[in-house]
Structure 1
Amino acid sequence: MCAKRLRKGTKLNQVNLSDAKDRIIKIKMLEGMAQSTINQYNIVFNDLIKFFGEEKLNVSVDLNNARDFVDWLLHEKSDEKSRFKQVAKKGVKPSSANNYLQKLRAAFNILIRKEILNENVFSQIKNSKFQKKKVEVLTVEEVKRIFDAFNKSYYVNLDLMYSYIPC
């Protein structure tokens, strides 16, 4: 991958999203990040570019733009590449939006250190809250009823399985 060079005389804060993506991915590769993490940065920046447009300057992304992007992620983003079109829905899960925010905060912090940006608008956005699904487990009595339903003459070690069930 060949990184784009800025023309002589171009101000650093005039870097567009596509250039920022190239810089961040190059930095992450040099830091020895795992390929899966680099792929995640690639996906995040591709979605940023899809939302804002490739030529959007980093400095022109303000807090309201960042909030609009997160709102788009949660409610409108659709996956055209999904193999399961009938179950595809608009928007990503809140946990995925939080992963996007994590990557964007880290990327924009790097751009601040490289003096490309003055502030990180994504650090001002809180993670999306969501309810974790409670896992329902079987009671001891329900497990015993399942084991009692087995054909005891066919399952030789059924008594051994009973010894693992707490009384």
Structure 2
Amino acid sequence: MKIRVGQGYDVHQLAEGRDFWLGGIKIPHSHGALGHSDADVVCHVICDALLGAAGLRNIGYHFSDRDPRWKGIDSKILLTEVMRMIREANYEVSNVDVTVVLQEPKLNPHIPAMKTCLSGVMSIPEEDISIKATTSEHMGFVGRKEGIAAHCVALIYSEPK
């Protein structure tokens, strides 16, 4: 068995009046993330971690913010495409572990719905998806409520043919 690990990191600025998409679900909040797509940092870091683990570069390489095809796109579509790519490369997902850094809103009530959504998109069991939330203790751009950051580690594997 071949086992590989990948890591993802993403940040987005927050802006008033934007829809706030996170982990594939819309979270009620006065601010949402700015980006070329729907700016779902959870989907983005999972994409980057999986692509990196498979040696397939990164999300920006495959879905450039200069390409109008991806303008405003639902990030679940990007994650679906990444899952197709890694499976085409003969890999399966063992697990993903995401940490979201956000001052507010509190995310714990939304984590079960995010896991359910992502499980469906990725076709993996919910127990193979970990999502954790933390603040930056009021420090930096996250602490000032100017942005959101997320980190992800993903483990993928390939069975010998």
Normalising by structure 1, we get a TM-score of 0.31
Q: With CA pairs under 8 Å and 6+ residues apart, which has the higher RCO, 1 or 2? A: 2
Query: Which structure carries more strand by proportion?
Result: 2
Query: Which structure carries more helix by proportion?
Result: 1
Normalising by structure 2, we get a TM-score of 0.32
